[in-house]
A = this chain, B = another copy of it.
């Protein structure tokens, strides 16, 4: 039982199976410069770092971020810039994105509450049916 990070390389199909996506999708992300697998001859070899990046991309997708937005988020994870202005700009961007995320979390919490309510109603009706039998 090897941890993914112990493995040196992954093939493209291994990743498609692990994450339930197509090879086209992975190559698309490479075209979009989101990941940069190395090559042996022409075939792509994905390192654990590439795999982790892919996980971040897919997480972004689940949250409804576009490729462009995901690109922005990934950029924030790189080494912080050395220049003060750039640094302040990055802090601003981080703050903005965090604001969006808080909004989304609030949206989620509201929706969950509502669904809980729907479920309660259903269970209530179900109980009525059981009694009436």
Contact = CB atoms under 8 A, between A and B. Distances in A.
Interface stretch (A8-16, A18-26, A30-38, A121-129): A121-129
B73 A111 contact: yes
Interface string A49-67: 0000000000101111100
Given A88-B126, A91-B122, A91-B123, A108 B115 contact: no
A90 interface: yes
Nearest to A112: B101
Q: Chain A: interface residue count, which band?
A: 35 or more
A5 interface: no
Interface string A95-107: 1011001111101
Contacts of A82: 125
Contacts of A112: 98, 101-102, 105
Nearest to A110: B59
B80 A111 contact: no
Interface of A: 59, 61-65, 73, 76-77, 80, 82, 84, 87-88, 90-91, 94-95, 97-98, 101-105, 107-112, 114-116, 118-119, 121-123, 125-126, 129
10 contacts: A63-B64, A64-B65, A73-B111, A77-B114, A80-B118, A84-B129, A87-B125, A90-B122, A91-B119, A98-B112
